[in-house]
Structure 1
Amino acid sequence: MSNSRVSDVNTQRVDSPAEEKASFARGAAFVDGKIVPVGDAKISILDWGFLRSDATYDVVHVWNGRFFRLQDHLDRFSRGMKRLRMTIPYSDAEIQSILQECVLAAGLTNAYVEVVCTRGIPLPGSRDPRQCTNKFYAFAVPFTWIATEEQRVRGLRMRISNVHRIAPEAVDPTIKNYHWLDLINSLFEAYNFGDETAVLTDGREHVIEGPGFNIFAVIDGIIVTPRSGVLEGITRQTVIDLAEMGGYELQQRALKVDEFRDATEIFISSTAGGVMPVGWIDGKVVGTGGRGPLTEKIQKHYWELHIDPAFSTPVSQ
């Protein structure tokens, strides 16, 4: 998209009459070259992104008017599209301009911002994905926490699920995708036990990841996180970076269910909330209970990075 096309996108944003501003209160989306209220954003029911979960996406958040690790998210989005053999007519700089416009149109200081590429619609009667024109969408909505303020202090109640994570040989977890039925089923299982979230295993007695988050365990003073079978989260990478900066030992390796249960601290990482403690596993208190001291330090340093220009980008006015 040339600069003139970026300008065209900018001019589509309506932000003068009060009633039109109010229509963007729930968020703004980029659909078919226009910025529209998120409630008006629509895709075709025939799009394979809807019919077949044939899509990839990424999510970056804005905190206090700054995107956090925006380029890292765009790089991962680009890698996902390439591996799924998808292409869109926008460069990273043009996508960034679109995301800026979505955030500004919605008037958000703290936002959850998503980019999506779908396979699109094939020719009538065709099942050949090469005959689809890939589609690009984006939206910004108010920031969403996956843990309440109380949970971020006392810790989440987590269940080790009997549901196995989709095998990486079947669906590559490093490509962010909408194949969530295993994750959803694990949540319902957790709710049946009165718990609040779940972690799935690989079927070989190793914990992998949960619905929208990576996991970390403190074992004998060492931070451990699963190496394989997981989405390589940007927040996960931030924790790895913080461990290196803080002089904490961190290992990426297979994490057995039994040692996970016996960890002195457990925490999760996600764009939708950052670093959050786990207080119970299968009804058993983790460590001495509540948010552990190492988790609290990582959590504090994580949010401090949001004002660091090496990690954050201001939303331009």
Structure 2
Amino acid sequence: GTAIFRLQDHTKRLLNSAKIYQMNVPFDQATLEQAQIDVVRENKLVSAYLRPLIWIGSEKLGIAATDNTIHAAVAAWSWGAYLGEEAMARGIRVKTSSFTHHHPNVTMCKAKACGNYTVSILAHQEVARSGYDEAMLLDPQGFVCQGAGENVFLIKDGVLHTPDLAGGALEGITRQTVITIAKDLGYEVVERRITRDEFYIADEAFFTGTAAEVTPIREYDDREIGCGSRGPITTVIQKTFFDAVQGRNDKYAHWLTYVK
């Protein structure tokens, strides 16, 4: 049957994001989770993307609106591959944006807030106009931070490397899923600061995200990565990820909440 992947983790992140912005949400986690289940069930969705939202009402305008009503809504769409079906096998072309990712003390980067995505929109627009599929954002110190809307991994000599979270990258649930899967498969995973030229000489690279899932990167800043298409370790991780999401691996059954 239809199931929601890591529903509890996504809902907890939503509530944590609201807490960071001092939004007193009038719904508990169980209520928000049930609302998401209800939306999927009532709309008879089989493969879909869920978007729960929390926002501040309009009783008072301006920045001092902390006493306004807090609202919540759940939207859902039928969903295909975010960066294109072909990209899941062939990989995508990525370019470093001239825009820098938020400094951790400018916006609260652990919160998945809509306003944090303005730089992502600008970065994607910038590189898309030049024919690239997605943007890479550097942190304020010049290290690779994340994609416009994705976390990123590189593979070198059989070891997975991903930027640590101190640079402001979103604490992605798919990122953590892939780290768990990779370790279960016997791969070493290192979280650290990474320079862009390390990606140029990587054996493989890929993006992760709720929408992007596991998308290979075949080219970065006009340098071919590895063999120029999806690499062997990325292939294994991608397959294991989709097996988990689609209920084909009992080892990860605890990540699924079935819609009844």
Superposition TM-score, scaled by structure 1 size: 0.76
SS in 1 for 2:179: helix
SS in 1 for 2:147: coil
Q: Which amino acid aligns with 2:108?
A: D
Q: Which runs of 5+ in 1 are unaligned?
A: 1-63
1:103 is matched with 40
2:104 to 168, 171, 183: 168
Q: Distance in 2 between matches of 1:78 and 1:234?
A: 14
2:227 is matched with 288
2:193 is matched with 254
CA displacement at 1:127 relative to structure 2: 4.5
Q: Which amino acid aligns with 1:154?
A: R
1:80 is matched with 17
Are 2:71 and 1:135 aligned? Answer: yes
Moved more, 185-194 or 256-265: 185-194
Are 2:253 and 1:309 aligned? Answer: yes
CA displacement at 1:144 relative to structure 2: 4.3
CA displacement at 1:135 relative to structure 2: 1.1
Q: Which amino acid aligns with 2:82?
A: I
Q: Distance in 2 between matches of 1:198 and 1:224?
A: 19
Q: Distance in 2 between matches of 1:289 and 1:127?
A: 48
- Check the 8 A contact 1:217/1:263 in 2, yes or no: yes
SS in 2 for 1:131: coil
Deviation per residue, 1:193-216 (Å, 9 max, x gap): 321111110142211111221000
2:238 is matched with 299
Q: Distance in 1 between matches of 2:58 and 2:214?
A: 38
Q: Distance in 2 between matches of 1:205 and 1:273?
A: 24
Please provide the CA RMSD for this pair.
1.5
Q: Distance in 1 between matches of 2:114 and 2:87?
A: 26
- Check the 8 A contact 1:122/1:128 in 2, yes or no: no
1:274 is matched with 213
2:160 is matched with 223
Q: Distance in 1 between matches of 2:140 and 2:130?
A: 21
SS in 1 for 2:85: coil
1:186 to 101, 123, 127: 123
- Check the 8 A contact 1:144/1:273 in 2, yes or no: no
Identity %: 31
Q: Distance in 2 between matches of 1:274 and 1:181?
A: 21
Higher relative contact order (CA 8 A, sep 6+): 2
- Check the 8 A contact 2:152/2:205 in 1, yes or no: yes
1:159 to 95, 103, 125: 95
Q: Which amino acid aligns with 2:148?
A: P
2:52 is matched with 115
Are 2:31 and 1:89 aligned? Answer: no
SS in 2 for 1:189: helix
Moved more, 231-240 or 254-263: 254-263
**1:196-207 residue pairs with structure 2 within 5 A?**
196-207=133-144
SS in 1 for 2:146: coil
1:150 to 86, 94, 104: 86
Superposition TM-score, scaled by structure 2 size: 0.92
- Check the 8 A contact 2:199/2:225 in 1, yes or no: no
- Aligned length, in residue pairs: 252
Q: Which runs of 5+ in 2 are unaligned?
A: none
Q: Distance in 2 between matches of 1:132 and 1:160?
A: 39
SS in 2 for 1:208: strand
Q: Which amino acid aligns with 1:184?
A: I
CA displacement at 1:128 relative to structure 2: 2.0
Q: Distance in 2 between matches of 1:178 and 1:102?
A: 21
- Check the 8 A contact 1:219/1:259 in 2, yes or no: no
